[in-house]
Amino acid sequence: MKKLISLSFTLVVLATAPEAFAKINSADIRAARSLFQSSGCTSCHDATGSAAGPSLKAIAKRYKGKPVITELAQRIREGSQGRWGDLSHPAIDYLTPTDASMLAEWILNGAPL
Ligand code: HEC
């Protein structure tokens, strides 16, 4: 049983680890940046300063090296509350799961321009 648990743990680590180190390519960088600008994200998030939502830099720093693309993409679409402060991130469900993942990946990579 112990062996089985440790094997499943290893598999989970192997299955999620590459995501943490995924580097975004330049076409995705351009697509993500323009999606970020056209989806209203900029009214609450900016690169480094304090707006209604956490800065992109602060988000990238908090989750550095962690395999959280899927989780963040889900919160971008479904909303998030209580993780940063008193304000909520609204549900933005007109984004497709693929687009939300691309935005999450871009943010986690430091939101390159
Ligand atoms: C109305 C303001 C508002 C808009 C618009 C908005 N956000 Fe947010 N966002 C927030 C706030 C506030 C938080 C912090 C929520 C919390 O404390 O859990 C947040 C949190 C986040 C987080 C971190 C979630 C976490 O789990 O730590 C990400 C990533 C994010 N937003 C991305 C986006 C993207 C991408 C868009 C555009 C598609 C967007 N936001 C649009 C206000 C906004």
pLDDT digits (tens, 9 = 90+) for 66-104: 999 999 999 999 999 999 999 999 999 999 999 999 999
- The CB of 63 under 6 Å from ligand 1? The reply is no
CATH superfamily of 2-108: Cytochrome c-like domain (1.10.760.10)
| Spacing, Cα 91 to ligand 1 middle (Å) | 9
Test site for ligand 1: of 38, 39, 44, most ligand atoms within 8 A of the Cβ: 44
Model confidence pLDDT, tens digit, residues 11-46? 444 444 445 556 788 999 999 999 999 999 999 999
CA-proximal residue: ligand 1, atom 6 (nearest): 41
- The CB of 89 under 6 Å from ligand 1? The reply is yes
Q: What is the pTM of this model?
A: 0.85
Dist CA 93 CA 74 (whole Å): 9
Nearest CA to 110 among 72, 55, 68, 37? 55
- The CB of 24 under 6 Å from ligand 1? The reply is no
Dist CA 96 CA 100 (whole Å): 6
8 Å CB contact between 48 and 55: yes
The ranges assigned to domains in the chain are 2-108
Distances from the Cα of 57 to the Cαs of 49, 94, 111, 112, in angstroms?
Answer: 9, 25, 8, 10
8 Å CB contact between 77 and 100: yes
Dist CA 25 CA 41 (whole Å): 21
pLDDT at residue 2 in the model: 58
